[in-house]
Amino acid sequence: MKLVHGSKEGRRLLARLRRPLGEAELPEAVRQKIGRVFGAELDAQAVVDRILADVREGGDAAIRRYNKEIDGVQAGDDLSLKVSAKEIKDAYAQVDEKVVRALRFAADRIRTYHQKQLDHSLIGFDEGGLGQVVRPLRRVGMYVPGTTAAYPSSVLMTGIPARVAGVAEVYMATPAAADGSISPLKLVAADITGVDGIFRAGGAQAIAALAFGSETIPRVDKICGPGNIFVALAKKIVHGLVGIDGIFGPTETLVVADGDADPALCAADLLAQAEHDALASPILITTSDALAEAVMREIEQQLESLERREIAAAALEGQGLAIVAETLEEALALANEYAPEHLSLAVSDGERYLGQVANAGSVFVGGLSAEAVGDYTAGPSHVMPTGGSARFSSPLVVHDFLKVISVVSLDEAALAELGPAAVVIADAEGFTAHARAIERRLEGGR
């Protein structure tokens, strides 16, 4: 973890962490696999183009081929891409009852939060024949990454807001293990969420299947959820044909701390961020030199006992940053420029500083608000904007599964009020058929 003083240098280093998606070179192991699968040295974009075209053309057979060649699934064609009801039922036996209870508890909290959010989301209105109706999307597909690791929380955090919004059909695609099985944790979480169908499909072939449809996998209206660079690029390419929730990169936590913050808790939060993956960004901005140094010492100590210490160390080495700023206002200005996914306000009067937060996915206010609670049980979705996209986008919200339809319903009085000016502008734009369509009505129609 690098320690720097002053917001000028801090700003420069934060800006360097904002590498556009796909500009980093692919790891050697991935490049070798691409060579084996495609017989050529393709870049990520070319790989994704090939997979999308193949799945669009070949359907289930192409999905199976890529599941095998890329994800290493060895199960034969007799195993359906669709997970059976029995597999889901059997999954419960493989998950500790304590974990099932915790997932149900988390599901309840997430559902309750999003029901409140729905109450504060878009609503329909009609004033004098002008208004909007709000409708849920019909079919949503969520992608859940990971074969060795399983993140049941991401299933809940994506699927439950969709269900609360009233989406009629919610599907899940996720990579299978070599024997074709899906992690029981994911299956239990999907069952608790109330998913309508679970499909064995990983990476870009999963996104292609959800965008185009295949014999087994339904075409959806919107695809949600995070994934690796291939998933992100595939979502970007199919966007327009289907909706997407956003383009997600590695996760980030920025802790703003004053001199009274607890260094052990700041360190624990930064390590919780760092253990995600080697590309995660754990960042501290503080007004106290002493705190910065204490946090760095704590990180070294706490790191020793972590199971995922190699990953956390790599993230700290690669992206870890501690910046000492002059004032909390300066610290928050830097945080707003960086626009982190997670922002922890480890300051004495957190609520006061909340008003200065312009760009963040989620804010954790005060020393007790562990970001990790937000990852699981607080309620708001942990699917959030990364890479600085908090400048212009929101966490996954109920509204992502709703849409507006504008309604124009004019009577004669409204037409008489609105029509003449519309005719003038239509004529000015050279659209005489527009003008005529209005004039015919103003003249009394039939």
Residue 152 touching a copy of itself (CB under 8 A): yes
CA-based nearest residue to 386, from 343, 331, 322, 330: 343
Residue 405 touching a copy of itself (CB under 8 A): yes
Structure tokens at 269: 């939060």
Helix (H, G, I), strand (E, B) or coil at 82: strand
Q: Contacting a copy of itself (CB under 8 A), which of 125, 157, 190, 259?
A: 125
Distance separating alpha carbons of residues 272 and 303, to the nearest angstrom: 10
To the query of whether residue 341 is one of the catalytic residues in this protein, the response is yes
Residue 110 touching a copy of itself (CB under 8 A): no
Helix (H, G, I), strand (E, B) or coil at 193: helix
Shorter beta-carbon distance to a copy of itself: residue 65 or 219: 219
Which range of residues in 77-85, 114-122, 289-297, 327-335 is near a copy of itself by CB under 8 A? 114-122
CA angle 373, 190, 183 (to 5 degrees): 90
CA-based nearest residue to 251, from 282, 223, 207: 282
Distance separating alpha carbons of residues 187 and 184, to the nearest angstrom: 5
To the query of whether residue 326 is one of the catalytic residues in this protein, the response is no
| Phi-psi label, residue 128: left if phi above 0, alpha if psi -120 to 50, beta otherwise | left
Shorter beta-carbon distance to a copy of itself: residue 59 or 379: 379
Distance separating alpha carbons of residues 323 and 332, to the nearest angstrom: 12
Which range of residues in 1-9, 100-108, 202-210, 324-332 is near a copy of itself by CB under 8 A? 100-108
Shorter beta-carbon distance to a copy of itself: residue 70 or 156: 156
Residue 271 touching a copy of itself (CB under 8 A): yes
Helix (H, G, I), strand (E, B) or coil at 277: coil
Least gap, CB of 253 to a copy of itself (angstroms): 10
Are 340 and 252 a contacting pair, CB within 8 Å? yes
Residues 25-84 interacting with a copy of itself (rule: CB under 8 A) = none
Structure tokens at 193: 């969420």
Q: Contacting a copy of itself (CB under 8 A), which of 80, 288, 348, 377?
A: 377
Q: Contacting a copy of itself (CB under 8 A), which of 7, 47, 70, 109?
A: 109
Q: Contacting a copy of itself (CB under 8 A), which of 67, 117, 174, 251?
A: 117
Least gap, CB of 439 to a copy of itself (angstroms): 9
Distance separating alpha carbons of residues 54 and 68, to the nearest angstrom: 14
Shorter beta-carbon distance to a copy of itself: residue 57 or 429: 429
Least gap, CB of 54 to a copy of itself (angstroms): 16
Helix (H, G, I), strand (E, B) or coil at 360: coil
Which candidate in 252, 298, 341, 371 is catalytic? Answer: 341
Residue 360 touching a copy of itself (CB under 8 A): yes
Residue 127 touching a copy of itself (CB under 8 A): yes
| Phi-psi label, residue 176: left if phi above 0, alpha if psi -120 to 50, beta otherwise | beta
The catalytic residue positions are 341-342
